[in-house]
């Protein structure tokens, strides 16, 4: 069960739901008006969809919980335009304040970010729906497909945050959807030895993390920080740090000033680690459309189709001097 990404642009829709939305003023709620399902059936589907998505949105939820989110303008906005600015001279210090200070101007560059729709479909025949109503608790509507669709959409959003989506770009000025591990301005660091290597010590892991933190500080990003590790390193951090410090490696790392948390991401490839300064100048999530489920009918009303969909795109940011609040260790 794969996930799809649609784009609605220049008055043209690609995909069945896109065409339907264009005829309803891009109002998602119109796809739920006069729906076949009852209120309770919709409530059950929405509960399953949101619960499953929350389980899979680790890195995305970290941004949402910290308020690192910008509303992207809904389905009618296909691209986000923003500017970055150069630095200016320092302020002057004197006793009388009479002398003129420098009047240098900031230089602005315009950037673009595509805002595609992430979506996954499922459906029921009208007979399945009616059978569930006739038999109530003995034959409830099977919501496993809704759960699977939600999981796939959430996984795609999470994967894009970590790995980018270079297949989508906007115009000659770039406009590529980058993630933590492929942004061209990210800081990079090489592991002297993989963390799960037999000879790797807790002190060496601590040194790797301190080095990454210092790289962020050198680029004028002072935290708070999050550390993301691949699945194979989860149990490594549970090992004892040393005989002199009989606590876990994880506990020792979390003693570092500014490190708020360590989280496993199964969207990081083996031996890849990411440290992020959690600030809006480093990364924010563009939420053009919150996760929602819409419905439409086909086959003369005999088939009821559903689409779990969202517009959720990471905006990875850096300065004109190429300073980034991300370190990619590999």
Q: Assign 298 a pLDDT band (cuts: 50, 70, 90).
A: confident
Assign domain 4-86+108-179+282-316 to its CATH architecture: 2-Layer Sandwich (3.30)
Spatial separation of the C-alpha atoms in residues 232 and 158, rounded to whole Å = 18
User: Does the domain at residues 187-279+323-329 carry the CATH identifier 3.30.2320.10?
Assistant: yes
Confidence at residue 253, expressed as pLDDT on a 0 to 100 scale: 97
Q: Is the pLDDT of residue 30 over 60?
A: no
Q: Is the pLDDT of residue 243 over 80?
A: yes
Q: Is the pLDDT of residue 106 over 70?
A: no
- pLDDT 10s digits, 84-96: 665 666 777 766 7
Indicate the domain borders of the chain.
4-86+108-179+282-316, 187-279+323-329
- Please give the average per-residue pLDDT across 262-270, as a whole number: 94
Report the candidate in 2, 69, 140, 87 with the shortest Cα–Cα distance to residue 289: 69
Mean pLDDT lowest for which of 105-114, 209-218, 223-232?
A: 105-114
11 vs 145, higher pLDDT: 145
The pTM assigned to this predicted structure is 0.82
Q: Is the pLDDT of residue 125 over 80?
A: yes
- Residue 65, token pair as written in the block: 């919980």
Mean pLDDT lowest for which of 13-17, 172-176, 189-193, 263-267?
A: 13-17
Confidence at residue 87, expressed as pLDDT on a 0 to 100 scale: 60
Determine whether 100 is exposed, middle or buried from the number of CB atoms within 10 Å of its CB (0-12, 13-18, 19+).
exposed
Q: Assign 53 a pLDDT band (cuts: 50, 70, 90).
A: confident
Spatial separation of the C-alpha atoms in residues 301 and 322, rounded to whole Å = 55
143 vs 311, higher pLDDT: 311
Confidence at residue 321, expressed as pLDDT on a 0 to 100 scale: 84
Mean pLDDT lowest for which of 4-8, 87-91, 259-263, 313-317?
A: 4-8
Q: What is the mean pLDDT of the chain?
A: 83
- pLDDT 10s digits, 165-186: 987 776 655 688 999 999 999 9
Confidence at residue 29, expressed as pLDDT on a 0 to 100 scale: 59
Q: Assign 47 a pLDDT band (cuts: 50, 70, 90).
A: confident
Q: Assign 271 a pLDDT band (cuts: 50, 70, 90).
A: very high
Mean pLDDT lowest for which of 30-39, 51-60, 96-105, 184-193?
A: 30-39
Reported for 171-176, long-range contacts at CB under 8 A and 24+ positions apart, including other chains, are 171/112, 173/110, 173/111, 173/112, 174/111, 174/112, 175/79, 175/111, 175/112, 175/113, 175/114
Contact 193, 200 (CB under 8 A): yes
- Residue 296, token pair as written in the block: 């439409």
Question: Which residues are within 8 A (CB) of 156 and not within 5 positions of it... i.e. 6 or more apart?
Answer: 3, 5, 118
Spatial separation of the C-alpha atoms in residues 134 and 310, rounded to whole Å = 33
């Amino acid at each position: 069960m794969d996930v799809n990404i649609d784009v609605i642009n220049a008055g043209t829709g690609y995909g069945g739901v896109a065409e339907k939305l264009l005829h309803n003023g891009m109002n998602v709620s119109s796809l739920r008006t006069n729906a076949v399902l009852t209120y309770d059936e919709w409530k059950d589907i929405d509960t399953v969809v949101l619960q499953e998505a929350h389980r899979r949105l680790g890195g995305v939820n970290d941004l949402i919980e910290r308020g690192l989110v910008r509303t992207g303008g809904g389905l009618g906005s296909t691209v986000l335009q923003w500017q970055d600015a150069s630095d200016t001279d320092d302020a002057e210090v004197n006793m009388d304040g009479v002398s003129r200070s420098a009047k240098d101007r900031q230089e602005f560059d315009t950037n673009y970010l595509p805002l595609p729709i992430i979506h996954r479909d499922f459906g029921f025949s009208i007979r399945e729906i009616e059978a569930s109503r006739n038999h109530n608790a003995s034959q409830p509507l099977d919501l496993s497909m809704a759960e699977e669709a939600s999981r796939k959409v959430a996984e795609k959003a999470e994967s894009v945050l970590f790995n980018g989506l270079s297949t989508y770009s906007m115009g000659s000025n770039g406009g590529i959807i980058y993630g933590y591990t492929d942004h061209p301005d990210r800081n990079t660091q090489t592991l002297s030895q993989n963390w799960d290597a037999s000879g790797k010590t807790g002190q060496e892991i601590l040194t790797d993390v301190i080095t990454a933190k210092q790289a962020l500080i050198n680029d004028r990003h002072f935290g708070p920080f999050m550390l993301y590790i691949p699945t194979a390193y989860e149990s490594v951090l549970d090992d004892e740090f040393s005989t002199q410090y009989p606590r876990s490696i994880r506990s020792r790392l979390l003693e570092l000033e500014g490190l708020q948390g360590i989280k496993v991401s199964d969207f990081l490839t083996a031996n890849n680690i990411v440290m992020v300064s959690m600030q809006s100048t480093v990364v924010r999530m563009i939420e053009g459309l919150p996760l929602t489920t819409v419905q439409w009918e086909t086959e003369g009303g005999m088939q009821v189709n559903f689409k779990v969909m969202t517009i959720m795109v990471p905006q990875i940011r850096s300065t004109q001097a190429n300073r980034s609040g991300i370190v990619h260790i590999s």
